Amino acid sequence: MAAPLGREAPLIDPFARRISYLRISVTDRCDFRCVYCMSEDMTFLPKREVLSLEELDRLCSAFVHLGVRKLRLTGGEPLVRRNIIWLFRQLGRHLKSGELDELTVTTNGSQLPKLAGDLYEAGVRRINVSLDTLDPHKFEAITRWGKLDKVMAGLDAAKEAGLKVKINAVALKGVNDDEVHRLVEWAGAEDFDLTFIEVMPMGDIGTEQRIDQYWPLSMVRGELSKRWTLEEIDHRTGGPARYWQVKETGQRLGFITPLTHNFCESCNRVRLTCTGTLYMCLGQDDAADLRSVLRASDDDAVLHEAIREAITRKPKGHDFVIDRRRGVTGASRHMSVTGG
């Protein structure tokens, strides 16, 4: 591989937004089959199409060299990938050099009982855990294959390892709409921050099912305000969430609203799939094939040029729509393909 180049100019998109955050899907596979994310009978990618851990390291390192300050590994379920801790340790060198501010992960929590300590040792300090319900029966229904007690054990392991935990809960009408107060109370007691997310139109799971799932977060916040004192704060983690402080618990409460409040004006993110496809926007299908560039040459200058060209095509925003009159408009790929 070519020797590292000197520090280069940062990545700036056509709308003068600096790209400082890369989310990387390290696998399309998962040990759950969440109803808003995957079909139950998924067809996964052949191994030859998936980047090796060494290739993922090279690609991520190229982005760091071009000014990305935050890396988040996602999936599928990232922690089911074989030897994934090797990649965390490799990327952790950028934390030590000062080129990277944060290395983190979004996980369903199932692998944390055995990997939480390794993540901390690799340099991870904060993780997101996807958890939509505290009811074991609902949890099995939402995830199809998951077991709530295993995730709870994973959360305990994360706390014991010293990892700061943020819970991500997708708001699902008719599913967990009766649990939002309980989730806030539980997160406060566990010292977890909590973020609610609107269901996004990603992949074909059936138009009526997607519409039936959709619960606008403006309504969620209104419901929560009946019991909790929510004070808006200027906290930012680099992602799209807007945060409130729950006065009664002292914890932060975030809302990610791709439909009711488009957050694209300040977007600093791009997403890389496990096949080396770079999506400049979660909600658009335009993409750049970096795998071909990566495998065609060991010259990182060529890879950097391809990344810069892709950023010139980053759109102003997405076009997500979920509406009974206007139907469902979104991306054709499943969320697990791009990275949660």
pLDDT of residue 118: 98
- Bond prior to 76 in cis (omega within 30° of 0): yes
The string of pLDDT tens digits covering residues 73-89 is: 999 999 999 999 999 99
Between CA 337 and CA 276 the distance in angstroms is 11
pLDDT greater than 70 at residue 327: no
Between CA 268 and CA 68 the distance in angstroms is 9
Q: Please, which residues have CB within 8 angstroms of residue 106's CB and are 6 or more apart in sequence? A: 72, 73, 74, 75, 78, 127, 128, 129, 130, 168, 340
Residue whose C-alpha is closest to residue 330's, from 295, 272, 279, 269: 279
Between CA 155 and CA 286 the distance in angstroms is 36
Angle of CA points 276, 84, 193, to nearest 5°: 95
State pTM to two decimals.
0.86
Would you call 224 helix, strand, or coil by DSSP?
A: helix
Residue 225, Cβ density class (10 Å: 0-12 exposed, 13-18 middle, ≥19 buried): exposed
pLDDT of residue 315: 87
pLDDT of residue 209: 55
Least confident of 212-216, 255-259, 326-330: 326-330
pLDDT greater than 90 at residue 166: yes
**pLDDT band, very low/low/confident/very high, at 103 (cuts 50, 70, 90):** very high
Q: Would you tell me the crossing angle of helices 300-311 and 53-65 to the nearest 10 degrees?
A: 70
Proportion of the chain above pLDDT 90, given as a percent: 68
pLDDT of residue 211: 61
202 Cα distance to chain centroid: 14
Q: Which two tokens stand for residue 232?
A: 């808006």
- The domains found in the chain, sorted by start residue, are 21-338 (3.20.20.70)
Calculate the average pLDDT of the chain. Answer: 87
Q: Which two tokens stand for residue 93?
A: 């060198």
List b or e across 80-108, with b for residues whose CB sees 16 or more CB atoms inside 10 angstroms: bbeebbebbebbbebbeeeebebbbbbbb
Strand segments (E) across the chain: 21-25, 70-74, 102-107, 126-130, 164-171, 193-198, 230-232, 242-246, 252-256, 269-272, 277-279, 287-289, 321-323, 327-329
Question: Cα separations (Å) of 276 from 49, 131, 310?
Answer: 9, 28, 13
| Maximum distance among all Cα pairs of the chain, rounded to whole angstroms | 59
pLDDT of residue 339: 58
